[in-house]
Amino acid sequence: MLGARCLLLALRRCSSALCLKHPQAARLRVREALEAQEVSGDIKVQGWVHSVRSQKEILFLHINDGSSLESLQVVADPSLENRDLTFGSAVEVQGKLVKSPHRMQNVELKAENIRVVGPCDTLMYPFKPRERYPLEYSRQFPHLRCRTNMLSSLLRVRSEATAAIHSFFKDNGYVHVHTPIITSNDCEGAGELFHVRTLNKAQQPRENSLFFNVPAFLTVSGQLHLEVMAGAFTQVFTFGPTFRAENSQSRRHLAEFYMIEAEIFFTESLQDIIQVMEDLFKTATSTVLSKCPQDVELFHKYVSPAQKGRLEQMLKNKFRIISYTEAVEILKRSPETFTFQPKWGNDLQTEHEKYLVKHCGEVPVFVINYPYDLKPFYMWDNEDGPQHTVAAVDLLIPGVGELCGGSLREERLDFLQSRLEGLGLSDAYQWYLDLRRFGSAPHGGFGMGFERYLQCILGVDNIKDVIPFPRFPHSCLL
């Protein structure tokens, strides 16, 4: 049944210009071939050679085109072998898909013709067949590492996770918004901005003028633009690149990362935001686990054997909620010696986040109501006395630390106005104040770091290994 559907798909694709050169052979992706039981007639598979094994009477190849972790076995007469048919070469194999006599695979491709499309200089190629390389080694070759099993699995998981997150929001009635990448505001107010300028004076529209008339930056968050849109569409989200000029070489920070941000109008409490964060995490993760189990399994087997159990615990249990004040108390009572002494009013450090998650039984923990002075201007003032807090929430995850940050937004015009005045920002943010003048309502939202989310699902220690082309201080390869 599956085989027939694949063949039909392939035949339909066969009208493409490429296939017209070989009108008789239907082109199948490796994944489609592996899922097919048997296909009558000739097929053609294109991909890269993962292994070549030549025996006296038979030649075995494994080829892969990135569509599946598993490679397709090709069997051929040794006369089809040639000097260029090596590990890493790009090939096109034409032949018949037949039931395999081996227990390891359902089908194999009995080759009638093998064409080396692009040879590979195996002496210079940084990878060798059947070797498993540490992620740090592969990281040196951002232009080639996607050909390794580990990175190709990662990229398929990344792609499925992207789709799962979009589906979650779509299924729950959110409108997707493209927030701008170039912006004139610093949403987080931390000054970690990349300045956008034209390359040289000749490209400026006028002598001594800025291209946009105002200083412009790469966005650190789409939140403020999402607030605009949530004020018309009620529930919105964005999923795009975000940039931070943080001088951090940590295993959790990148200068360019992807963030999923949601904004919801007509909220009643922080609980509304917390619920969406937990639902998003659990729904998207379950979808990814069911869509690409083999790819996830590869990481759980070879990179982080404890992660599978951890993830099951996270999906099964209700996430915990504690206040920042409770968190500081827990840390103070802890027998652990911290490098940074926990103190009310100070930010939680990685070591603190780690301890809090352990204290709560290795389940994700929402920490709510942070000190007013620690958080950006847009957060709702809880007006709660000497230990002055805002309605903020951070989600801490075992092994990763902070995965999400969110808050209720300050929608009371007078509160917001005086906070912006105090920061000398009220002129620049007139438009933001307008949102509170014209049909405002309680609202809030959050941002989830996509790379940290992938680190969490797969148990990858370094964030540089879950993004195709990592950007961080002193490195912008390719």
Contact residues toward Mg ion (CB under 5 A) are: 405
188 binds ligand 4AD (CB under 6 A): yes
Separation of alpha carbons 461 and 399, rounded Å: 8
Structure tokens at 227: 């607030």
Q: Out of ligand 4AD, Mg ion, none, which partner does residue 452 contact, by CB within 5 to 8 A per kind? A: ligand 4AD
| Complex with Mg ion: residue 153 or 455, whichever CB lies closer | 455
| Complex with ligand 4AD: residue 328 or 379, whichever CB lies closer | 379
Separation of alpha carbons 320 and 395, rounded Å: 9
451 binds ligand 4AD (CB under 6 A): yes
Q: How far is CA 70 from the centre of its chain?
A: 23
| Amino acid present at 161 | A
Contact between residue 218 and residue 196 where contact means Cβ atoms under 8 Å apart:
yes
Classify residue 102 by its DSSP letter. S
Question: Least CB distance from residue 37 to ligand 4AD, whole Å?
Answer: 44
Question: Least CB distance from residue 395 to ligand 4AD, whole Å?
Answer: 7
- In order of 322, 353, 370, the CA distances from 359 in angstroms are 11, 10, 19
Contact between residue 118 and residue 90 where contact means Cβ atoms under 8 Å apart:
yes
Helices (H), 99-242: 135-138, 149-171, 223-233
Selected from 70, 246, 329, 461, the binder of ligand 4AD by CB under 6 A is 246
| Complex with ligand 4AD: residue 187 or 360, whichever CB lies closer | 187
User: From the CB of residue 406, how many other CB atoms can be counted at a distance below 10 Å?
Assistant: 28
| Complex with ligand 4AD: residue 44 or 225, whichever CB lies closer | 225
User: From the CB of residue 201, how many other CB atoms can be counted at a distance below 10 Å?
Assistant: 8
370 binds ligand 4AD (CB under 6 A): no
Residues 6+ apart with CB under 8 A from 371: 324, 344, 345, 387, 388, 389, 390
Q: Which of 196, 198, 188, 199 has its CA nearest to residue 216?
A: 196
314 binds ligand 4AD (CB under 6 A): no
Kindly determine how many residues on this chain lie close enough to bind ligand 4AD according to the rule CB under 6 A: 22
Question: Least CB distance from residue 353 to ligand 4AD, whole Å?
Answer: 11
Question: Least CB distance from residue 138 to ligand 4AD, whole Å?
Answer: 20
327 binds ligand 4AD (CB under 6 A): no
| Amino acid present at 84 | D
187 binds ligand 4AD (CB under 6 A): yes
Q: Which of residues 213-232 bind ligand 4AD (CB under 6 A)?
A: 221, 223
276 binds ligand 4AD (CB under 6 A): no
Selected from 86, 402, 426, 442, the binder of ligand 4AD by CB under 6 A is 402
Structure tokens at 193: 């901005």
From 12-20, 25-33, 342-350, 443-451, give the range in contact with ligand 4AD by CB under 6 A. Answer: 443-451
From 23-31, 148-156, 298-306, 447-455, give the range in contact with ligand 4AD by CB under 6 A. Answer: 447-455
- In order of 104, 243, 302, 310, 314, the CA distances from 399 in angstroms are 35, 23, 17, 9, 12
Q: Out of Mg ion, ligand 4AD, none, which partner does residue 404 contact, by CB within 5 to 8 A per kind? A: ligand 4AD
Q: Out of ligand 4AD, Mg ion, none, which partner does residue 257 contact, by CB within 5 to 8 A per kind? A: ligand 4AD
Selected from 88, 399, 449, 459, the binder of ligand 4AD by CB under 6 A is 449
Sheet holding 443-449, edge to edge: 175-176, 235-243, 256-265, 443-449, 401-408, 389-397, 365-371, 320-323
* Contact set with ligand 4AD (CB under 6 A): 187-188, 221, 223, 244, 246, 253-254, 257, 259, 261, 402-406, 445-447, 449, 451-452
